[in-house]
Chains A and B, each alone.
Chain A
Amino acid sequence: MNFKKAFVIYKKEMLELFRDKRTLFTTIILPVILYPLLFAGFGAIMTRQADVLEKRGATVAFQDSLTFRTPETLAIRDSIYEDLTKIEHFQIIPAPPTLNLLYQEGDIDAIVTIKDSLNVNQEPVFLVTIRYDGSGEKGLMVYHKLESSLLNTSQKISAQRLQALDIDQQIIKPMEIMPLDTSTTEKKMGNILGTILPYLMILLLITGASVVAADLVAGEKERQTLETLLVSSVSRSEIVLGKYLTIVTMAMVNVIINLVSISFSIQYLLSQSGLDMQGIQMPINSFLILLLAMIPLATLFAAILLSISTFSRNMKEARTYEQPIIIIAMLMGMISFLPTVEMNNVLALVPVINVALLFKVVLIGNYQLSHLLLTIGSTLVLDVIAIWITVKLFNTESVLFRTQEEGGKIKIKNKRTFFSPFYGIVYFCLALAALYYLGGKWQAANLVNGLIQSELIIILFPVLILLRLGKYKPAEILRLKKPKAKELAIIPFMAISASMIVSIIAQVINHFFPFPQEYIEAMSRIFTQDISFWEMFIVIALLPGICEEILFRGFLMRFFEQKNFWYPIFVTAILFALFHLDPFRFLPVLLLGILLGYITRRTGSIVNSMFFHIINNTLALVITTFSEQNWMRVFIQDGENLKYWLTIPAILIFILSLTIFNKITILEEV
């Protein structure tokens, strides 16, 4: 490794990038002008809006529904009316006969109605109602003005009454409430910025990096300059290092410029709105720490995006592959919007999320060194892995020269069979839509029947009908093959141990993202139904086990089997996890899906994966049904959670049974 050569590459890439007008514009000029314009413009519009609303005023109808028309009540009515007319820009009119119509048409903004009755002391008391439309800014503004005017009148009247009784007014004011906010402006600012900035910064970082990354390798492939670089006397790791540093630099430059521009704009906005600049210092120190914390993230994005760029044939392909990464990073960055999620040692290990949370605590001003170190450490580990992959890709000629594949020879396009990935995805989307709309409706009407209907009508029957229509042999396509006895013997061990591991993973996820109350209620609804264990077994374990396996491992997996052994397994598992429509269960279901796919392809029989699936679901059923029983206490804590120590025997049993499984099965011929 010659760092000098890596640096030569770095310098040249930077020179080229800064000669590119587009890059220059998006990374430097745009942020410099964007935020001032955005902030100033937005501020101006907001104040103007408020102003317009103020001046526009409102028309308010005054309705007199008094029953006792004594001089006294009339006097009070008049003083209310008088005070109302004093509201600036308000027009108070006596209620016309077409009052309701006018109100509905919006010609009248509010109606103040005054009613009366006598209290025990035979004194008149009034009930004043304000009818208004609370859905808009205007309605609220009108309401607040009317309310404060009425309160004012009410106070005047009570003062008069007290005076008449010769009582000191102070007597009805036993206390006064006075808010004293002790948070510093810095902290307040930190809190506001802490929610928006991490998200914004992560977004800027990854978009900045992605533009450059796509250009640096995929772009070189597209422009056919990569070959010249590869034949020159520079090693692959030097090339990767040079380009990697370029991406990190550009991403950081992008973030820094944006950050500076944002902070200047905020200061400007604050000074404009006449706020006291004394207390409102931008938290500069925090910003510096944040920038430091951004560096590991920049390196991580750079490394991942660089490997994508290296893998892609051209820039367009690189951009396509970058999309999901950007979306995932954005979603993870959104964690800072959630008020309840706080930094801890486990989350400090999760990439992107750790930086988002770190941001928050740093801006508020209390962070722990351990979190900082864990964040940097875990990110660096991922960095090294991603860079290592990139260097590996750079040493793989089939990846570097994938562009040539298309050229030269005439390609005989394969006849598109039904079992192609495209149709697989289409079928999956249709099934998902059907489940979401139809299944949801059925289950809302009657949960148990709905579940049975969904499994049979949406999941199972269409597959069988399609296979019949296409004149396929269902048993062959779906791998409905008799399993071997030894396979069936080892599956329960795998199923039970794997289910426990996956449940514990799910528990950990639930620990960080507790279920919303409605969800728990909905779930308990199904278990409190007045049905026997065996009926439950059919609905929860048997039917899903059979029908879902036929759809996923039997049918859908066939659409993706053009490539290697693992590809269809992973794709099917992802679809399987998506099918459950629950982001928090995605990972557990994905893991199960991978295992189910593996079992199917390894044994060539779907009956095995059905068996596995049924055992898995039964286990969940048993745990919830018998969680109250004493003998279950050994395994279960707080309600229905497995005890964590079970992980260790579960992993041991799983590894052992998987090893045996691998021994007794041979790879299915594909």
Chain B
Amino acid sequence: MIEAILGFVCLALGGFAWYSKQRADKAQARLAELAADLERIQQTQSQVIHTTKLASLGQMIAGVAHEMNTPIGFVKSNVEVVRELVTEHRELIKKCLHGFDLMLAADLSNPQMIEPMRRAMTKVRAALAGDERLNDGDDLLKDAVDGLVQIANLVKNLKGFARVDRDGMDALNLNECIESALTIAAHQLRDRVEVVKEYAQLPKINGVASQINQVLLNLITNAAQAMEEGGTLTLVSRRSGDQVEIDVTDTGAGIPDNVMPKIFDPFFTTKPVGEGTGLGLSIVHKIVQSHGGSIKVRTAPKKGSTFTISFPVDHALLKQSAEPK
């Protein structure tokens, strides 16, 4: 009897073992599936990160192209117009010279010649004196030079933004980074957003310029997108103890309580399909973290939001700059 019971128990245990092995196998398989999923997600994520890099490159190019088309427009037009003015002026001079030639060839002993000649000369003189074309041309060229300087500055900023010439860690002035990012974002702001800047004198921080610029561009872009109907974008920089801080404040929609916990999640977006990838803030987070910094958000519905990023001041740099050269 006991044996029978034992046998039964053994059987049951065996069955259980078999059953749990089944479960374990299933779990194992499920785990493998999950791992594969995870890998797939990670792959698509890195793919998407790559495409957003491209997207922000596209965005950057579109922005700069727009900013440049206006100065290129008037510089080109002015130079062409001045060329026309020069041609017209050359014609005028030709006429004067012709007059001179006639005068030189004329028989001045004949008093009847003098009066008509005087009259013709007075007319030419009045025309020359009243001709504003050279002055106009001068103004047009002044604008053209102005425009070229503006274009050169844009190019400089663009180089500064991408730091194509030097990647890697660098001593950065965050105020300059803000300016770079603003130039790139200008076409998103210009129509409807007023920009207020309150910069403090800042010690330098150690960082990768293109990445810090990306952080600022993403924050500014989000701010601009939160202010569909226009508003004010305030950029404040300050030193606070061992930290350098930047506030990016908008007067836009604000972030609802139920959205707030998710905003730094990769792929989380409230924007329509095709408009937002939801990677902006997760990239911001990653970059800020890798620079030993931190990020804070304050928001009020319908009033707006402030994103504050802070980075540690580099003491080595501080000492360097304090030492006399």
Q: Do A and B bind each other?
A: no
Residues of A within 8 A of B (CB): none
B interface, CB within 8 angstroms of A: none
